[in-house]
């Protein structure tokens, strides 16, 4: 317990603020932030003093603490990280990295007013979808298109518009859950429609759908099983068969592609992922897919299909609640524009560029980062280069793995606690580095590291106890 004399030694608010160091903080951040910051620090010193013998910090010490507190409060908690997990489209790490043209487009539009919903020809109110519709229909071959906040929203508004208070048959093999928060049965319930499960988990036939159709059926729906695959004795009904069945009873056929790429992925050594254009060609009336999965753009849900159905979706009051903002709009417009030049697409869209990287290119970066990592961790861990496999992530081609190279970090003696501490030290770097822990080792998959400097230049900040 401290005596009253100790309390008397705590500097006054005025004394701290009038110090030279503190005055420069006042100049930088304003009097009000600094004063309340000093008060808070002094209050905590007082409360600590009442139950400990801790020394009273000097004015300089208090100002230094204040600077740290202000810095912390000043920096948004959302910040860039290096995703070295080996999952290219990592939902928790923000999925697709945007192409440079999309970023500069966003900066331009963010800075001031734009013709977001203004028709420059007529001088009257315009429709924000006009900025994107032609590009999307041009690529997909659909009659019409609209865009909402994400693909979950695209499915929600489609079902709510076309199937409210009616029934929707879906195959038992397609009742997917994506990322824990998107489940087809729950989305259907939220949309106000009733799910009618058809077929079995592994096999669903056309006759299962035929038998499920009644007066109450609003539409037929297919959901791309994007994060798992049913193997073995399986059977599902093609888009074409479902579209024909839907046509024969005059109801729409809706397909949720999930990732919905717009290019053939086979040049990357990946199997074919269904494209939006194929679904439209097969006769789908509505197709939904994400903007920030394999498309490589901003978070968005793209809905394409028949003119009358898209018009109905746009007229739903939910559209207003789920619409995209101007920054997403310009980013998506720029990304779609890149799709007009398939030859350079892969170079310009980071997601596709990462997928296309060869093992040799990845290994070259691994060899650059290895020596600095070895010396940064020499006392604590062994570091080497190993073969690994990256995955696409976000439910795209879940079973496909791309050969890659990783830095492997192994604590001196096997210890989970040490491994966690090393991983944490990397997460505390100025640009946090996120790897994946596998089998007692920390792996940094370098498929998504293009500039070794992004990692190496930070290593002097590595604070490992
Ligand atoms: C990813 C996915 C969704 C959800 O898309 P978000 O853009 O994450 O909202 C819906 N359906 C399928 C099949 C998916 O793969």
61 and 127 part of one domain: no
What is the C-alpha separation between 378 and 350, in angstroms, rounded?
33
Last residue of a domain, one of 344, 370, 395: 344
Last residue of a domain, one of 344, 379, 407: 344
Within 13 Å and on the Cβ side, how many CA atoms surround 62?
31
Burial class (CB in 10 A: 0-12, 13-18, 19+), 59: middle
Q: Is the CB of 301 under 6 A from ligand 1?
A: yes
Q: Which of 152, 171, 186, 221 to mutate to test the pocket of ligand 1 (most atoms within 8 A of CB)?
A: 152
What is the C-alpha separation between 182 and 185, in angstroms, rounded?
9
Is residue 224 situated within a structural domain?
A: yes
Q: Is the CB of 99 under 6 A from ligand 1?
A: no
Q: Is the CB of 154 under 6 A from ligand 1?
A: no
194 and 323 part of one domain: yes
What is the C-alpha separation between 151 and 112, in angstroms, rounded?
28
| pLDDT on residue 55 | 82
Q: Which of 377, 456, 428, 451 is nearest to 81 (CA)?
A: 428
366 and 286 part of one domain: no
398 CA distance to ligand 1 centroid (A)?
A: 13
| pLDDT on residue 383 | 96
Q: Is the CB of 222 under 6 A from ligand 1?
A: no
289 CA distance to ligand 1 centroid (A)?
A: 7
Nearest CA to ligand 1 atom 10: 258
**299 within 8 A of 150, measured Cβ to Cβ:** yes
> Which structural domain, as residue segments, surrounds residue 179?
100-344
Q: Which of 454, 436, 459, 450 is nearest to 92 (CA)?
A: 436
Is residue 291 situated within a structural domain?
A: yes
Q: What HEC string does the chain produce?
A: CCCHHHHHCCCCHHHHHHCHHHHHHHHHHCHHHHHHHHHHHHHHHHHHHCCCCCCCCCHHHHHHHHHHHHHHHHCCCCCCCEECCCECCCHHHCCCCCCHHHHHHHHHHHCCCCCCCEECCCCEECCCCHHHHHHHHHHHCCCEEEEECCHHHHHHHHHHHHHCCCEEEEEHHHCCEECCCEEHHHHHHHHCCEEEEECCCCECCHHHHHHHCCCCECCEEEECCCCCCCCCCCECCCHHHHHHHHHHCCCCEEEEEECCECCCCHHHCCCCCCEHHHHHHCCCCEEEEECCCCCCCCCCEEEEECHHHHHHHHHCCHHHHHECCHHHHHHHHHHHHHCCCHHHHHHHCHHHHHHHCCHHHHHHHHHHHHHHHHHHHCCCEEEEEEEEEEEEECCEEEEEEEEEEEEEEEECCCCHHHHHHHHHHHHCCCCCEECEEECCEEEEEHHHCCCCHHHHCCHHHCCCC
285 CA distance to ligand 1 centroid (A)?
A: 19
**92 within 8 A of 104, measured Cβ to Cβ:** no
Nearest CA to ligand 1 atom 3: 258
248 and 380 part of one domain: no
Report the domain count for the chain: 3
453 and 397 part of one domain: yes
Is residue 328 situated within a structural domain?
A: yes
CATH of the domain at 136: 3.40.640.10
| pLDDT on residue 51 | 81
212 and 105 part of one domain: yes
Pair type for strands 118-119 and 82-83 = unpaired
Full pLDDT tens readout for the chain, 465 residues: 456 777 888 899 999 999 999 999 999 999 999 999 999 999 999 888 888 777 888 999 999 999 999 888 877 889 999 999 999 999 999 999 999 999 999 999 999 999 999 999 999 999 999 999 999 999 999 999 999 999 999 999 999 999 999 999 999 988 877 766 778 889 999 999 999 999 887 788 899 999 999 999 999 999 987 666 677 777 788 999 999 999 999 999 999 998 878 887 777 667 777 899 999 999 999 999 999 999 999 999 999 999 999 999 999 999 999 999 999 999 999 999 999 888 888 899 999 999 999 999 999 999 999 999 999 998 889 999 999 999 988 766 666 789 999 999 999 888 889 999 999 999 999 999 999 999 999 999 999 999 999 999 999 999 876
Q: Is the CB of 152 under 6 A from ligand 1?
A: yes
Q: Is the CB of 226 under 6 A from ligand 1?
A: yes
Q: Is the CB of 258 under 6 A from ligand 1?
A: yes
What is the C-alpha separation between 457 and 443, in angstroms, rounded?
19
Output the CA torsion sign for 384, 386, 389, 392: positive
48 and 138 part of one domain: no
127 and 47 part of one domain: no
284 CA distance to ligand 1 centroid (A)?
A: 18
145 CA distance to ligand 1 centroid (A)?
A: 18
Instruction: Quote the crossing angle between the two packed helices 31-49 and 59-74, to the nearest 10°.
Output: 120
176 and 297 part of one domain: yes
426 and 337 part of one domain: no
378 and 440 part of one domain: yes
Q: Is the CB of 37 under 6 A from ligand 1?
A: no
Nearest CA to ligand 1 atom 2: 258
Q: Is the CB of 458 under 6 A from ligand 1?
A: no
Is residue 204 situated within a structural domain?
A: yes
Structure tokens at 96: 């697709």
Cα-only R_g, the chain: 28
Last residue of a domain, one of 344, 371, 402: 344
Is residue 349 situated within a structural domain?
A: no
| pLDDT on residue 53 | 77
Nearest CA to ligand 1 atom 6: 151
Nearest CA to ligand 1 atom 7: 151
Which ligand 1 atom is the nearest neighbour of the CA of 395?
Answer: 15
288 and 411 part of one domain: no
Is residue 265 situated within a structural domain?
A: yes
Pair type for strands 301-305 and 82-83 = unpaired
CATH of the domain at 439: 3.90.1150.180
CA end-to-end span of the chain, whole Å?
A: 32
Q: What are 381's strand-pairing partners?
A: 411
Q: What is the tens place of the pLDDT at every residue in 444-462?
A: 999 999 999 999 999 999 9
282 CA distance to ligand 1 centroid (A)?
A: 21
Is residue 457 situated within a structural domain?
A: yes
**116 within 8 A of 128, measured Cβ to Cβ:** yes
Nearest CA to ligand 1 atom 11: 258
């Amino acid at each position: 317990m401290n005596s009253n004399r100790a309390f008397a030694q705590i500097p006054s608010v005025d004394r701290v603020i009038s110090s030279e160091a503190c005055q420069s903080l006042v100049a930088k951040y304003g009097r009000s932030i600094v004063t309340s910051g000093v008060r808070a620090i002094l209050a905590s010193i007082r409360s600590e003093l009442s139950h400990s013998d801790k020394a009273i910090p000097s004015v300089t010490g208090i100002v230094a603490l204040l600077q740290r507190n202000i810095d912390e409060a000043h920096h948004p908690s959302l910040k860039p990280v290096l995703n070295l997990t080996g999952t290219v489209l990592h939902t928790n790490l923000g999925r697709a990295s945007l192409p440079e043209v999309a970023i500069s487009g966003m900066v331009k539009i963010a800075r001031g007013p734009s013709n977001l919903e203004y028709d420059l020809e007529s001088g009257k109110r315009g429709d924000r979808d006009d900025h994107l519709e032609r590009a999307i229909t041009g690529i997909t071959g659909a009659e019409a298109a609209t865009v909402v906040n994400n693909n979950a929203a695209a499915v929600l508004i489609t079902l709510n518009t076309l199937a409210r208070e009616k029934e929707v048959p879906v195959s038992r093999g397609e009742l997917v859950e994506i990322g824990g928060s998107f489940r087809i049965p729950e989305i259907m319930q939220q949309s106000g429609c009733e799910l009618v499960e058809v077929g079995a988990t592994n096999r669903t036939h056309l006759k299962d759908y035929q038998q499920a159709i009644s007066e109450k059926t609003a539409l037929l729906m297919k959901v791309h099983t994007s994060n798992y695959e049913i193997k073995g004795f399986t059977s599902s009904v093609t888009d074409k068969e479902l579209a024909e069945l839907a046509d024969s009873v005059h109801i729409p056929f809706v397909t949720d592609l999930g990732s919905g790429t717009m290019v053939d992925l086979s040049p990357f050594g990946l199997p074919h992922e269904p494209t939006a254009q194929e679904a439209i060609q097969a006769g789908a009336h509505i197709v939904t897919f994400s903007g920030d999965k394999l498309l490589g753009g901003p978070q968005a849900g793209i809905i394409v299909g028949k003119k009358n159905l898209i018009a109905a979706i746009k007229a739903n009051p939910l559209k207003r609640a789920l619409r995209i903002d101007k920054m997403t709009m310009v980013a998506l417009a720029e990304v779609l524009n890149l799709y007009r030049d398939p030859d350079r697409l892969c170079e310009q869209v980071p997601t596709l560029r990462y997928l296309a990287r060869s093992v040799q290119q990845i290994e070259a970066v691994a060899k650059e980062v290895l020596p600095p990592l070895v010396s940064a961790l020499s006392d604590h861990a062994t570091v080497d280069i190993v073969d690994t496999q990256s995955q696409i992530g976000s439910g795209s081609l879940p079973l496909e793995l791309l050969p890659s190279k990783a830095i492997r970090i192994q604590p001196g003696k096997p210890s989970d606690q040490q491994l966690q501490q090393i991983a944490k030290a990397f997460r505390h770097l100025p640009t946090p580095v996120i790897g994946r822990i596998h089998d007692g080792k920390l792996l940094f998959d370098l498929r998504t590291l293009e500039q070794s400097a992004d990692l190496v230049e930070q290593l002097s900040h590595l604070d490992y106890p």
